[in-house]
Amino acid sequence: GENVEQHPSTLSVQEGDSAVIKCTYSDSASNYFPWYKQELGKRPQLIIDIRSNVGEKKDQRIAVTLNKTAKHFSLHITETQPEDSAVYFCAASIGGGATNKLIFGTGTLLAVQP
């Protein structure tokens, strides 16, 4: 079936470095790609999203890039800070039309070392 693969599963960086998390999807009709951040013991919260008609989107230290041809999208966090430590989930819409839904990646545990 349709799925979303996310890598790496864990990522450790030094404070101030950049972090990159990558996801690939299988449904060529996917057109919506959100990223969620989940801090320990809390709910997932949307941090940025991108639609298929856009190749890149930025919001301060966070950016997402989308390559529709290769069916992959990435989250980029620059100048990482300890408060960026969390689990990050990517998701992609699949199905389209009445069956459209979001499928989530398996998550990346990001640890930012002070």
- Footprint of other proteins on this chain (CB under 8 A)? 6, 9, 31-32, 34, 36, 42-46, 49, 89, 93-96, 100-102, 104-107
Q: How far is the CB of 41 from other proteins (least distance, A)?
A: 8
Return the half-sphere exposure (C-beta side, CA atoms, 13 A cut-off) of residue 58: 3
Q: Which is nearer to other proteins, 18 or 28 (CB)?
A: 28
Q: Label residue 113 left, alpha or beta by phi (over 0 means left) and psi (-120 to 50 means alpha).
A: beta
Ramachandran angles phi, psi of 56, nearest 5°: -155, 150
Token pair of 30 as six digits? 């996917």
Q: Which is nearer to other proteins, 46 or 54 (CB)?
A: 46
Q: How far is the CB of 114 from other proteins (least distance, A)?
A: 25
Return the half-sphere exposure (C-beta side, CA atoms, 13 A cut-off) of residue 110: 30
Q: Which is nearer to other proteins, 19 or 91 (CB)?
A: 91
